[in-house]
Chains A and B, each alone.
Chain A
Amino acid sequence: MPNNSLSELVSKISRKKQEFAHPIEEQFALILDYYGITWLYEPTTFTLQEDTDGNILEAFTPDFYLPDQDLYVELTTLRPQLNNIKNRKIRKLKTLYPDVNIKLFKRRDLHDLMVKYGLDYEAGYLKGSKAQKNEQ
């Protein structure tokens, strides 16, 4: 396990080079940086389904991995009624990879998190439909 200062440095370097799929992901990374939590962005793709030739039919890539916590974190800004595909993938991941720890932050969780950290603009963003763009 890397020491704290090294792992914090790795986090900062990776964020500087990192392009995020969604602005909320960047805010989340900034919060982790602030509290000295090491993170990696989309480091692992889990195969969920293959055909008989071994071709991947379905896969899932969680947004973040926190190595010191051995925890994957997935963020979603989709409204709950549009979340079925992602929920199903996470359920499947948990079945196929029972040792993998993953936490889903849903739209309301993210809203509350942004409010908690005083990020009103970002929290407000999660109220409208524009937040749902760029979701896989």
Chain B
Amino acid sequence: MNNDKTSASQLSELTQDIDRILITEIEIKNRIIEIGRQISNDYHGKNPLLIGVLKGVLFFLADLLRCITIPVEVDFLAVSSYSTEARNKGVVRLVKDLDIPIQDRHILFVEDVVDTGLTLNYLLKNLKMRNPTSIQVCTLFDKSKHRLVSLPLSYVGFELPDRFVVGYGLDFREKYRNLPFVGLLKPSVLAREMDGE
């Protein structure tokens, strides 16, 4: 694991594309410990089911789970992304549903980032129809400036700036998720990728 002093210049192939680190690995780690402690207190005796949306949440959920000290269960959902193909089929849909029934369960919905809130809004509506006892949302990153649907977020790690960022689950064209920190992508990289080079 790289330490907090990790700089873009020291790093691998992926980090060459990063302009600046915004949230360091150690800052992320410490914040997740705090959130895990809070969740452990709030859900004591409730055996919550943590639900993550693939794929970006993988990193956060894995780290968060190891900071929670009470019994929990985990399940995953996946939704169609807004691509030309999906768009032609009409509306957003689940491409992977839950394996565990959620009726009468305490649900903690875990996201890597909440941006416009459009996907989360769709998923929460879907889950509420299954009659859980409660649903709360935990997100590591909040990008509230772009929010179109107002949603209550019970646990928030960091507010993200109004910039295109990658790392720790956040991707650009499926890349950069595995960076251990959150950084700004170089504008030249963004332009190069979009020009298909």
Number of interface residues of A (CB under 8 A): 28
Interface membership of B149, Cβ < 8 A: yes
Per-residue CB contact flags for chain A residues 104-124 toward chain B (1 = under 8 Å, else 0) read: 010011001101111010011
Q: Tell me if B46 is interfacial: C-beta within 8 Å of chain A.
A: no
Q: Identify which of A4, A31, A66, A115 contacts B190 (C-beta below 8 A).
A: A115
B90 partner residues in chain A, CB cutoff 8 A: 34
Contacts of A127 in B (CB 8 A): 191
Looking at A66, A117, A127, the one whose CB has the most chain B CB atoms below 10 A away is A117
Among B63-112, those with CB < 8 Å from A are 81-84, 86-87, 90-92
Interface contact A117-B164, CB-CB below 8 Å = no
Whole-angstrom distance between the Cβ of A112 and the nearest chain B Cβ = 5
B194 near A118 with CB under 8 A, answer: no
Asked if B44 is an interface residue, CB under 8 A from chain A, the answer is no
Which residues of chain B come closer than 8 Å to A123, judged between CB atoms? Answer: 194
Known: A115-B190, A115-B194, A123-B194. A37 touches B162 (CB 8 A): no
Taking the complex as formed, is A30 at the interface, i.e. its CB lies under 8 A from any CB of chain B?
A: yes
- In contact, A69 and B194 (Cβ under 8 angstroms): no
B41 — which chain A residues lie within 8 A by C-beta? none
Report the separation of the CA atoms of residues A99 and B190 in the bound assembly, to the nearest whole angstrom. 38
Give the residue of A31, A66, A109, A124 whose beta carbon is less than 8 angstroms from that of B82: A31
Q: Pick from A35, A113, A120: contact of B119, CB below 8 A.
A: A35
Binding site for A on B (CB under 8 A): 81-84, 86-87, 90-92, 115-116, 118-119, 121-122, 125, 145-150, 162-164, 172, 190-191, 194-195
